[in-house]
Chain A
Amino acid sequence: MAVSADFLQFLFSGITVGAIYGLVGLGFAIIYNASHVINFAQGEFVMIGGMTTVSLIGLGLPLLVAVAGAILATVGIGLLFEKLAIEPARDASIVALIIITIGASILFRGAAQVIWGRNFHSLPSFSGDDPILIGGAAILPQSLWVIGGAGAIVAGLQWFFNHTLAGKAMIATSHNPLAARLVGINTRFVLMLGFGLSAMLGAAAGILIAPISLTYAGVGVMLGLKGFCAAVLGGLGKPMGAVAGGLIVGISEVMTAGYVSSAYKDAVAFIIILAVLFFLPSGLFGDRGTERV
Chain B
Amino acid sequence: MVLGLVPGRALAADPIRIGTFLSVSGGASFLGDPELKTMVMFIDRINKSGGLLGRRIDLIHYDDETRAKNAITYVKRLISQDKVDLIVGGSTTGNTMAVIKLIQKAGVPFISLAGAGVIVDPVKKWVFKTPHTDKVAVAKIFTDMKARGLSKVGLLSGSGGFDKSCRKNARALASEFGITIVADEVHGKGDTDMTPQLTRIKGTQGVQALLYCGFGAPTSIVAKNYKQLGMTIPHYQTHGSASMKFILGASGAAEGVRLPAAALLVVDQLPDDHPQKAVGTAYKAAYEARYKEPISTFGGHAYDGLLIATEAIKRAGSTDKAKVRDEIEKTNHLVGVDGIFTMSPSDHLGLNAGSFVMVEVRNDKWKLLQ
Contacts and interface: CB of A to CB of B under 8 A. Distances in A.
Interface of A: 2, 6, 9-10, 13, 16-17, 113, 117-120, 122, 124-125, 129, 131, 133, 138-140, 209, 211-214, 216-218, 221-222, 254, 257-258, 261-263, 265-266
A284 to B, nearest CB: 25
Contacts of B224: 129, 212
Contact of B220 (A17, A122, A124, A209): A122
B248 A122 contact: yes
B200 A131 contact: no
Interface in B240-277: 245, 248-249, 251-253
Interface stretch (B23-31, B48-56, B109-117, B129-137): B23-31
Nearest to B195: A13
Contacts of B159: 263
Contacts of B195: 9-10, 13
Contacts of A129: 224, 227-228, 251-253
A221 B216 CA distance: 17
Contacts of A212: 192-193, 224
Contacts of A214: 192, 217, 220-221, 249
Given A118-B24, A212-B192, A213-B193, 8 more contacts: A9-B196, A119-B245, A122-B220, A129-B253, A216-B29, A216-B217, A258-B200, A262-B185
Given A6-B199, A119-B29, A120-B217, A262 B187 contact: yes
Contacts of A120: 29-30, 216-217, 220, 245, 249
A261 B188 CA distance: 11
Q: Considering residues B195, B248, B249, which has the most beta carbons from chain A within 10 angstroms of its beta carbon?
A: B195
Contacts of A258: 196, 199-200
B191 A265 contact: yes
B192 A213 contact: yes
Contacts of A138: 228-230
B190 interface: yes
A150 to B, nearest CB: 16
Contacts of B199: 6, 9-10, 258
A154 to B, nearest CB: 21
B192 A140 contact: no
Given A113-B25, A122-B248, A263 B196 contact: no
A19 to B, nearest CB: 12
B228 to A, nearest CB: 5
A263 B188 contact: yes
A13 B203 contact: no
Contacts of A263: 159, 186, 188
B33 interface: yes
A124 B224 CA distance: 12
B171 to A, nearest CB: 16
Contacts of A221: 190
Interface string B211-234: 000001100110010011110000
Interface in B178-213: 185-193, 195-197, 199-200, 203
A139 B229 CA distance: 8
Contacts of A119: 29-30, 33, 245
Contacts of A261: 186
Contacts of A2: 203
9 contacts: A6-B200, A9-B196, A119-B30, A120-B220, A122-B248, A129-B253, A214-B192, A265-B188, A265-B191
Given A120-B249, A131-B230, A213 B221 contact: yes
Contacts of A6: 199-200, 203
A235 to B, nearest CB: 26
A10 B196 CA distance: 6
A180 B224 CA distance: 50
A257 B196 contact: yes
B228 A218 contact: no
Nearest to B248: A122
B338 to A, nearest CB: 22
A21 B359 CA distance: 39
Contacts of A125: 251
